[in-house]
């Protein structure tokens, strides 16, 4: 019985190690996933002909998964999980558990989810939220998980773009 339990726990550990984690640093991600397959450099907002940086973008691949990660202030705040097949319920349960950060995910239905489900029924749009404002959404073969810090960073870059645009407006 003990060897069977040990084998199960080892397999579970190996299966969950292929995923990234919100809140980790690039160094922690590299330890878990290996070196990035692509370092796209910055995560940006483009507005008014200018680029406003809000973070770092790194991509990883492991065990048939492709992971796009956005880091703000050295911490992962967004992960896009992709695979070549549809997500299984086990995939979703494992990823959401790994990304819970001590909180509970609740499946939700937003207007966008309803519209997307009607317009794109084969895409299987599903959405989850946490009490702290983190969100996860699956559309087809992509699952995007974001923290509130991600949205704050994007909003900050957009606010800077708007402020810069207003400075350039002539006083008419």
**pLDDT higher than 80, residue 57:** yes
- pLDDT for 120: 58
Is residue 134 within 8 Å of residue 121, measured between CB atoms?
no
The DSSP call for residue 100 is -
pLDDT tens digits for 136-168? 998 878 999 999 999 999 888 888 888 887 776
Q: How far apart are CA 155 and CA 168, in angstroms?
A: 20
pLDDT tens digits for 105-134? 999 876 555 555 566 555 567 899 999 999
């Amino acid at each position: 019985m003990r060897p069977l339990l040990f084998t199960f726990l080892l397999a579970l550990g190996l299966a969950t190690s292929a995923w990234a984690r919100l809140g980790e640093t690039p160094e922690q991600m590299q330890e878990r996933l290996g070196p990035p397959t692509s370092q796209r450099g910055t995560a940006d907002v483009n507005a008014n002909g200018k680029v406003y940086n809000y973070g770092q973008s790194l991509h990883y691949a492991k065990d048939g998964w492709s992971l796009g990660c956005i880091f703000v202030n050295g911490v992962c705040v967004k992960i896009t999980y992709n695979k070549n097949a549809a997500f299984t319920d086990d995939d979703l349960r494992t990823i959401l558990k790994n990304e819970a950060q001590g909180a509970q995910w609740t499946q939700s239905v937003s207007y966008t989810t309803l519209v997307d489900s009607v317009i794109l029924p084969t895409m299987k749009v599903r959405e989850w939220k946490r009490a702290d404002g983190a969100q996860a959404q699956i559309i087809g073969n992509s699952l995007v998980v974001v923290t509130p810090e991600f949205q704050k960073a994007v909003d900050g870059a957009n606010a800077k773009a708007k402020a810069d645009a207003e400075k350039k407006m002539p006083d008419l």
